[in-house]
Amino acid sequence: MRLAAQLVTSLGRIYGASGLVPVASVQVAGVSYRNLGAAGLEFLRDWANKGARARVPAMLNPAGMDLTAWRAHGIPEEFGRQQLEVIDAFRRLGVMPTCTCTPYLIGYVPRYGEHLAWSESSAVVFANSVLGARTNREGGPSALAAAILGKTARYGLHLDEARRATLVVDVECPLRSPADFGALGYLVGRMAGDGVPFLRLRKGPEELRAQADLLGSPYVPHLKAMGAAMAASGAVGLFHIGGVTPEARELGDDLIALGAVYVRIDDLSLAYRELGMGGGAVDIVSIGCPHASLAELTQAATILERQRVTRPLWITTSRAVLDEARRQGVLALLERSGATVMADTCLVVAPMRHFGFRTVATDSAKLATYAAGHCGLAARYGPLEVCLEAAVSGVMRGV
């Protein structure tokens, strides 16, 4: 408790925090043994041996493998055993091994205005922007310390003034698919840096404005794809969409900070080009970054009906969504087409270099941004249907 308090208060001092704030939940990133290594595992064991325990609901981000089917997926034995030891240490610390970046899709839904200490960037931006909760992008150790203390430092996105928009983006082009939203997020993230963009969508989709419950709406894939991309190409922790997201509905233009910069986007082709829009052969296809919802799995199963993939198609999701997909028969449909649905993990944190793939097709702008650096993969980027078509034919057509 003393170490956790020291960590949280030291960070608070660095960032000029006005004090501490109780948190309703914590999400801890830095779970993959690939990122933690032996030193990280030792740190977790040391804290667990000292008796540290989370005192608020605390969850884990994806690990480096599916925690049950990892051998079948070809994860090296040594890595697998060390990863399980990491999970065991987190369990002893009282952190639930949810291993997902979309806890809000499996029942851990923060309430409007609630303070959190979440750390995975796409989860942070979704919680802040779409749900109106308040969290900075915590590091793994600072999130763990917040779980043990039950509090985090009150600075940054916990404060009203830091939630005002610093960049106003008039989006003049139509947005058709989650991939379009991802491409937009990629452009906006680069312009916004760690600022707060306020999007004014001039050409719809109109139905987005009519959604009273964003989390229950068909726009979850669009919003999570866009937020994840903004956090990957920039360091955005919060965005607003005029008339759509909760704070923008409540405050409208009052959310725009004095001196905010105004820009206009009327074309997404630059983003598609930079993310890898060109056609060509693919070695592997990845869907589910951020983790896929049940609706996304169902959509993929429908598209793949009566088709068989010829390339590895890895669909990543949470354990809870995978179990529900199994109950509803969606998993069987996907597996019949040759897809592999994995829980608890994703390509960015898995030991991908071990597999020797060179090119990945993905509908995730975040994965396309990280593919080269984190996975050693060249990315081809496009909408879900185009990626699934590539899994069947082995060739991605240019979009």
Closest approach of ligand F3S to the CB of residue 128, in Å: 15
Pair of tokens at residue 326: 């199994």
Q: Which of 255, 289, 300, 330 binds ligand F3S (CB under 6 A)?
A: 289
* Residue carrying the six token digits 């995730």: 364
Q: By CB under 6 A, is residue 291 in contact with ligand F3S? A: yes
DSSP state of 139: -
User: What b-and-e string marks burial along 42-60, b requiring 16 or more CB atoms within 10 Å of the CB?
Assistant: eebbebbeeebebbbbbbb
Toward ligand F3S, which CB reaches closer, 98 or 359? 98
Only segment of 86-94, 139-147, 258-266, 287-295 that touches ligand F3S (CB under 6 A): 287-295
- CB 65, CB 83: distance < 8 Å: yes
Closest approach of ligand F3S to the CB of residue 39, in Å: 21
CA dist., res. 115 & res. 133, Å (int) = 6
Binding mask 340-379 for ligand F3S (x = CB under 6 A): ------x-xx----------------x-------------
Toward ligand F3S, which CB reaches closer, 101 or 399? 101
Closest approach of ligand F3S to the CB of residue 132, in Å: 20
Residue 146: which of 290, 9, 292 has the closest Cα? 9
Q: How many residues bind ligand F3S (CB under 6 A)?
A: 14
Q: Which of 25, 122, 293, 318 binds ligand F3S (CB under 6 A)?
A: 122
Q: In what order do the strands lie in the sheet with 284-292?
A: 340-343, 313-317, 284-292, 359-362, 378-381
Q: By CB under 6 A, is residue 290 in contact with ligand F3S? A: yes
Closest approach of ligand F3S to the CB of residue 289, in Å: 3
Q: Which of 11, 56, 93, 101 binds ligand F3S (CB under 6 A)?
A: 101
Toward ligand F3S, which CB reaches closer, 20 or 101? 101
Closest approach of ligand F3S to the CB of residue 212, in Å: 26
Question: What's the Cα-to-Cα distance from 91 to each of 24, 85, 352, rounded to whole Å?
Answer: 19, 10, 26
Q: By CB under 6 A, is residue 138 in contact with ligand F3S? A: no
Per DSSP, the residues of 244-304 read: TSHHHHHHGGGGEEEEEEEEEE---HHHHHHHT---EE-SEEEEEEEEEPHHHHHHHHHHH
Main-chain dihedrals φ then ψ at residue 80, nearest 5 degrees: -60, -45
Exposed, middle or buried by CB within 10 Å (0-12, 13-18, 19+), for 35? middle
Closest approach of ligand F3S to the CB of residue 139, in Å: 15
* 14 CB-near residues (< 8 Å, 6+ apart): none
Site for ligand F3S in 233-252 (CB under 6 A): none
Pair of tokens at residue 158: 């916990």
Q: Which of 12, 30, 40, 62 binds ligand F3S (CB under 6 A)?
A: 62
Site for ligand F3S in 379-398 (CB under 6 A): none
* Residue carrying the six token digits 């993905």: 362
Toward ligand F3S, which CB reaches closer, 35 or 307? 35
Toward ligand F3S, which CB reaches closer, 152 or 362? 362
Closest approach of ligand F3S to the CB of residue 8, in Å: 24
